[in-house]
Amino acid sequence: MIGYTTIGTKDLEKALAFYDALLGELGGKRVMEMKNGQLYGFAQGPLFGVTKPFNGDNQNCGNGNMIALRCGSKEKVAEVHAKALSLGGVDEGAPGDRSSGFYGAYFRDLDGNKLCAFTMG
């Protein structure tokens, strides 16, 4: 079971404003401040962290890395995707059926990190 995930950022304040609004759509809120970042918590599931890289090097996005955010409905997937784009995120795939009951939408945050909003069934 995953306890938490983190993504890197170049501009912590901009990233926190983005994720405060985006994760708020899913009931997420700030739960633990760290020296270089912030962890968000939810009623269920792992924590989600946004941080400047600990080693001080530049943030970069891993090829093939992605964080998936579980949503309760197809409507919520569309809302989260639209919210991400309204906050300056970049579309990587509009909401839609993908396969075997998987419904998802893809986007990149302000730093280029790839995320998916999804629901099953």
- CA–CA dist 44, 76 (Å, integer): 16
Residue 102 pLDDT class (50, 70, 90 cuts): very high
**Residue extents of the structural domains in the chain:** 4-53+64-120
Residue 2 has a pLDDT of: 86
pLDDT of res. 121: 86
Q: How far apart are CA 16 and CA 10, in angstroms?
A: 11
Query: Do the bridges between strand 67-70 and strand 90-99 make them parallel or antiparallel, or are there none, so unpaired?
Result: unpaired
Mean of pLDDT over the chain = 95
Does the pLDDT at position 104 exceed 90? yes
Does the reported pTM lie above 0.85? yes
CATH class of domain segment(s) 4-53+64-120: alpha beta
- Residue 1 scores a pLDDT above 90: no
The pLDDT value given to residue 36: 93
pLDDT at 45 over 90: no
3-state secondary structure 43-111: CCCCEEEEECCCCCCCCCCCCCCCEEEECCCHHHHHHHHHHHHHCCCEEEEEEEEEECCEEEEEEECCC
